[in-house]
């Protein structure tokens, strides 16, 4: 399945299978010797929610949350259990997220996910910076200075507003920011270009995966960072290489809401050594 080109292999399993599947993630996600994906997503039973979503990046590391994957998980569950109540409750390492199918026509179903409140304190990102928020903080990477705003949307994000979201800046500075020593758990890196306060172009270097076509939590983090820096309104379209997401940071409950598509590509069996 994929959400705007951010693609995943999904499987359902029991909790006891997770370690074995994590060890397989790198091979499954290999685009030459496996199925090929940005991550392996395992849906397992949950005692707290309708289902539990476990996310393994293409390098085998575990991620706390993934916005595009959670939309896909909601669609997969709704297709398997068409009478399931909504909103679906999905347990992640971030907590329980609520997802509602808003459009069921055609190939690309649309899903709105309550992504919860953004965490802004440096200790919650986590990032080694003083203060109560990290807004337009200057980081030196690769001999360059990058102004970064940090947001945790269940996973860490460093958002930089730049004049152009070229592939060059992503490949040059993305891996350096991901592995910057001030981020003890590494970080996802977003490069955002403001077209107008309601429209932002964004490109992402994902922690543990590199360049991907979309990142749902990254789009949410970009909108939050845009509001904190005065670059955007509280509702905006965030355009990624794979397509647009509609993001709202509600001033009523402080939650971030993400709406976008999820698509099944194929189903099958893979033999793993």
Residues 62, 87 share a domain: yes
Q: Is residue 263 assigned to a domain?
A: no
Tens-place pLDDT, residues 196-219: 999 999 999 999 999 999 999 999
Residues 169, 105 share a domain: no
- Of the candidates 272, 271, 273, 268, the one whose C-alpha atom is nearest the C-alpha of residue 9 is 268
| Per annotation, catalytic residue among 66, 72, 150, 220 | 66
Tens-place pLDDT, residues 160-181: 999 999 899 999 999 999 999 9
Please state the rounded mean pLDDT for residues 52-71. Answer: 96
The residue behind tokens 């939309």 is 71
Tens-place pLDDT, residues 74-133: 999 999 999 999 999 999 999 999 999 999 988 889 999 999 999 999 999 999 999 999
Identify whether 66 is a catalytic site residue: yes
> Contact, 230 vs 224, CB < 8 A?
no
Tokens of 250: 């509600």
Tokens of 44: 């397992």
> Contact, 222 vs 190, CB < 8 A?
yes
pTM of the predicted protein model: 0.92
Q: Is residue 264 assigned to a domain?
A: no
Residues 157, 53 share a domain: no
Residues 245, 162 share a domain: yes
Percent of the chain with pLDDT over 70: 100
CATH number at residue 152: 3.10.310.10
User: In whole angstroms, how far apart are CA 229 and each of 85, 121, 147, 217, 271?
Assistant: 39, 16, 11, 18, 48
| Per annotation, catalytic residue among 29, 150, 215, 220 | 215
Count of domains forming the chain: 2
Residues of the domain holding 65: 2-116
């Amino acid at each position: 399945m994929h959400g705007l080109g951010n693609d995943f292999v999904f499987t359902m399993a029991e909790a006891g299978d997770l370690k074995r599947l994590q060890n397989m993630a790198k091979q499954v996600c290999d685009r030459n010797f496996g199925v090929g994906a940005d991550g392996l997503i395992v849906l397992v039973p949950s005692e707290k929610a309708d289902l539990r979503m476990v996310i393994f990046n293409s390098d085998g590391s575990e991620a706390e949350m993934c916005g595009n994957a959670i939309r896909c998980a909601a669609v997969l569950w709704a297709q398997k259990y068409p009478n399931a109540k909504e909103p679906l409750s999905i347990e992640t390492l971030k907590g329980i997220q609520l997802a509602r199918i808003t459009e069921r026509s055609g190939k690309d179903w649309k899903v709105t996910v309550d992504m919860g409140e953004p965490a802004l304190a440096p200790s919650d990102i986590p990032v080694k910076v003083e203060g109560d928020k990290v807004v337009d903080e200057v980081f030196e990477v690769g001999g360059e200075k990058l102004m970064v705003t940090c947001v945790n949307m269940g996973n860490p994000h460093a958002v930089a507003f730049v004049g152009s979201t070229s592939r060059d800046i992503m490949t040059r500075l993305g891996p350096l920011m991901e592995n910057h020593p001030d981020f003890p758990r590494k970080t996802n890196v977003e490069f955002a270009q403001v077209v107008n306060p309601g429209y932002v172009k964004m490109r992402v270097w994902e922690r543990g995966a590199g360049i991907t076509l979309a990142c749902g939590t990254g789009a949410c983090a970009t909108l939050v960072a845009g509001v904190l820096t005065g670059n955007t309104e509280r509702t905006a379209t965030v355009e990624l290489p794979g397509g647009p997401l509609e993001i709202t940071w509600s001033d009523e409950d402080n939650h971030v809401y993400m709406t976008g598509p999820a698509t099944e590509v194929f189903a099958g069996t893979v033999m793993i050594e």
